[in-house]
Structure 1
Amino acid sequence: MSDDKIVVGSLAGAFGVRGEVRLKSFCAEPADIAGYVPLRSPDGRAFGSIEILGQTQGALIARVEGIASKEEADALRGVPLLADRARLPALPDDEYYHADLIGLPVHDAGGNRLGTVRAVLNHGAGDILEIARPGGATALIPFTLAAVPLVDLAARRIVADPPEGAL
């Protein structure tokens, strides 16, 4: 995926029979996704407008330009929606887009490589970095200042002090 695109949501299938979709928004304010149009799928398909109609459990209900039937909506289930990075707001120094963290190497304070960020997870209590360890193992580190004291996007590195037992 290009560095000038950020995943802001995904299509989650049909809602009804007239082409309305369930739309998962990854924005801090879910309805803000409509302001980042045009959105694109990874294969380049453009979605020029989004009209938010309501909300259902875990998703928005929306009309998306270019989706006119239940079958089209269901065929696009799981497709990520990408926005131009330039259209997104600038973040404070201590906040990051997940796309900027994924793939960064993680080292401990002594410079030893711990692994690479595979994903940024959030299950309600805060963000967690999923670290791909050498040899194929995975570790989870809370994305807090105590456990991750340094994120240096310019140098493309993270320094972590994981809690006992995390690795």
Structure 2
Amino acid sequence: MQLVVARIGRAHGIKGEVTVEVRTDEPELRLGPGAVLATDPASAGPLTIETGRVHSGRLLLRFAGVHDRTGAEALRNTLLIADVDPDERPEDDDEYYDHQLIDLDVVTKDGDEVGRITEISHLPTQDLFVVERPDGSEVYVPFVSEIVTEIDLDEQRAVIDPPPGLIDDRAARDEVADGHSASARDAAAEDAGEEA
């Protein structure tokens, strides 16, 4: 299985280093010196990582054969792709690779269907499941243990215990909205009656 693990950004300096937007939870494993990565576009690679370092909070990489700014700039916006064993799992039992979570069915602890995970959004403070509802709408579920109570890869499902308001039932919202509209109509009719 192939996974996008980074996107190459701007050139840094004049010796072929590039900034990298990391798209993996394990950059030390996927983006370490000696790693050979496929690319998108394919014509840019494969690329072998020669050196890597962190500078001002950003990962900088240098690739074999790229030793000047011109070569580094030519790689800008190239995606770096790693081959990953689909059965490989992180060392920590409470961690998962994105590809393991995509397409899991999401249900509440009571068994109510919520939808299907279509994307994992990695934010600075926490990760979010982007869940597509059966009606095509999306809901965002924080990937925290208080809300996501179980990940069952064998059953291909994620069980959640959402706090009030996280998973709003559209029908309930519409009913409330209709109720407010009806109340407003009734009030207007009463006002009209009093004026007559």
Q: Does 1:91 align with 2:91?
A: yes
Residue 65 of structure 1 corresponds to 64
Residue 158 of structure 2 corresponds to 158
Count of aligned residue pairs for this structure pair: 162
Residue 37 of structure 2 corresponds to 39
CA distance in 1, matches of 2:123, 2:106: 22
Residue 78 of structure 1 corresponds to 77
Q: Could you tell me which amino acid in structure 2 is paired with residue 144 of structure 1?
A: V
The structure with more helix, counted as a fraction of residues: 2
Q: Does 1:48 align with 2:53?
A: no
Question: TM (normalized to structure 1)?
Answer: 0.77
**Which of residues 8, 19, 25 in structure 1 aligns to 2:5?**
8
In 2 relative to 1, CA 21–34 (structure 1 residues): closer, same or farther, beyond 3 Å? same
* Contact 1:40–1:47 (Cα < 8 Å) also in 2: yes
1:10-54 per-residue CA deviation (whole Å, 9 max, x = no partner) reads: 2123223443211233455655521571122245531123312x4
Q: Percent identity, please.
A: 29
Unaligned runs of 5+ in 2: 168-196
* Contact 1:24–1:58 (Cα < 8 Å) also in 2: no
CA distance in 2, matches of 1:112, 1:42: 40
- 1:147 is displaced (CA, Å) by 0.9
Q: Could you tell me which amino acid in structure 2 is paired with residue 162 of structure 1?
A: P
Q: Could you tell me which amino acid in structure 2 is paired with residue 116 of structure 1?
A: R
Bigger relative contact order (CA 8 A; separation at least 6): 1
* Contact 1:40–1:83 (Cα < 8 Å) also in 2: yes
- 1:157 is displaced (CA, Å) by 1.4
Q: Could you tell me which amino acid in structure 1 is paired with residue 10 of structure 2?
A: G
Question: TM (normalized to structure 2)?
Answer: 0.67
Backbone CA RMSD of aligned residues = 2.8
Q: Does 1:102 align with 2:102?
A: yes
- 1:69 is displaced (CA, Å) by 5.0
1:118-149 per-residue CA deviation (whole Å, 9 max, x = no partner) reads: 22223332222121223332211111222111
CA distance in 1, matches of 2:34, 2:134: 38
Unaligned runs of 5+ in 1: none
Q: Which has the larger radius of gyration?
A: 2
Residue 148 of structure 2 corresponds to 148
DSSP 3-state at the match of 2:51: strand
DSSP 3-state at the match of 1:49: strand
- 1:106 is displaced (CA, Å) by 1.2
* Contact 1:119–1:131 (Cα < 8 Å) also in 2: yes
